Amino acid sequence: MMPDTLFMGQQQIFLPVCESTNSEAQQLLNKNEATEGCTIVTAKQTRGRGQRGNSWEAEPGKNITLSVILSPSFLPVRYQFHLNMAVSLGVLDLLHEQGLKQAQVKWPNDLYFEDKKLGGILIENTINSYSLQHSIVGIGLNVNQLVFKNNTATSLALALGHNLDVDVLIKRLLELLEKRYLELRSGKVAKLKYEYLQVLFRYQEQHFFMVDGHKVQGQILGVAEDGRLALEINKGLRYFSFKEIAYII
């Protein structure tokens, strides 16, 4: 389905089955066959990848599994987290529009609804000397799947109580993603950051986290320019990169 966009999803490749849409996107880039916004959609991944080297499991034909190729050459490497914010907000815009008003983003970019994971984002960048050359934005969103191995996962259908048309959702997602990406490209970083904090899971609340194998209590106070999570622990402010901290849900 053709989205109403300038470039996002104007080139679309549908693969009934593939290992991973992110890997397919990388291969297209290697062959120089992708224009900005090119989107690879699949019904079934045999080696879907998640963050931290995890795999991404999704029941074939029921969910969104896609990757978008972007060329954010305007974005210095040290600000690459800004792209994570823009993409997270684009996916959240879709969830909010579908009626999941309470959907949030768990730092850095997991989509959450009522303490359960609705989807995730895997962004893989190639870097030029100081800016991003290409970004492969992989999005996995649980749509019509009703049964999960993991009881911390959920789907739009479970949360809303009805099935949704995956193709219609993908079309709309591409439109909303383009809107956010254009905000980023036109320098509206303060707006994106403000909105990201508005929808940040457990923002400014006391919760437990795992740090260096210890359970600590703290409060998220924000996100640094480089994407590290700012946490107040025992009245001191500490910054954590993705590998250094885990949420206790």
Site residues (vs ligand BTN, CB under 6 A) = 20-22, 45, 48-51, 54, 56, 65-67, 110, 120-122, 138-140
Q: Which is nearer to ligand BTN, 3 or 48 (CB)?
A: 48
Contact 37, 5 (CB under 8 A): yes
Q: How many residues does the chain have?
A: 249
CA atoms within 13 A on the CB side of 2: 4
Contact 72, 185 (CB under 8 A): yes
> Which residue's entry shows tokens 């107040």?
232
- H/E segment holding residue 34: none
Minimum distance of ligand BTN from residue 17's CB (angstroms): 13
> Looking at beta carbons, which residue is closest to ligand BTN?
120
Contact 20, 55 (CB under 8 A): no
Q: Which is nearer to ligand BTN, 10 or 51 (CB)?
A: 51
Q: Which is nearer to ligand BTN, 65 or 88 (CB)?
A: 65
Minimum distance of ligand BTN from residue 50's CB (angstroms): 3
Minimum distance of ligand BTN from residue 46's CB (angstroms): 10
Q: Which is nearer to ligand BTN, 237 or 249 (CB)?
A: 249
How far is it, in rounded angstroms, from Cα 128 to Cα 133? 5
